[in-house]
A and B are shown apart, each in its own frame.
Chain A
């Protein structure tokens, strides 16, 4: 259900430093995970995804780590830039990478602020 009244976790990082955003997912049956970036007043933007048969995946300046034992997901952003400032959400699904129409469950989100 909705978490009324909670504040988004925030993370402030100096420009050029690396940032790590964490996410605890809820369903041990989830086998597909995605990180999204959402800027103010816009829809989510796909960053990177990972399937449960992997524990690490790298993209351009981003790395996602998956620890299924503790149901934890992290997003690492290297050499952060001002344009990285946004809210980051993790999302999970069951069968999403196979069936293509499985619904996503979004995490709470973390607001990342890059300090110039």
Chain B
């Protein structure tokens, strides 16, 4: 149980285009999901906290107009990278909280490459 999926697993896009990444909790409902970014050989950096039915909370330094987050249902959060640039190339990982449990369940990640 407690499986989180991401789609797509990898994506290549051209500079200036937008890319949407989906995060789904497959067998549980998650009112809270988190989005992380991980550059090669580096740690996970929290980008934003996504709450179902409300606006996301962004970490300092993360542009909310560039990284659009929508958490429209209890099983789906989306991250849209708008006007992507090569420096946005990274591994994007989401996690979902199981009810009020303290454990975050992580998705498998999405590799974004912007050319």
Contact = CB atoms under 8 A, between A and B. Distances in A.
Interface of A: 1-4, 6-8, 32, 34, 36, 41-46, 49, 89, 96-98, 100-101, 103-109
Contact of B44 (A44, A46, A97): A44
A49 B61 contact: no
A24 to B, nearest CB: 13
B97 interface: yes
A43 B108 contact: yes
Contacts of A98: 102
A6 B61 CA distance: 20
11 contacts: A1-B61, A4-B42, A6-B41, A8-B41, A42-B109, A43-B107, A44-B44, A96-B102, A98-B102, A101-B97, A104-B46
B106 A100 contact: no
B106 A44 contact: yes
B65 interface: no
Nearest to A36: B106
Given A8-B41, A89-B43, A32 B102 contact: yes
A100 B107 CA distance: 18
B39 A97 contact: no
B86 to A, nearest CB: 15
Nearest to B10: A41
A95 to B, nearest CB: 9
Nearest to A32: B102
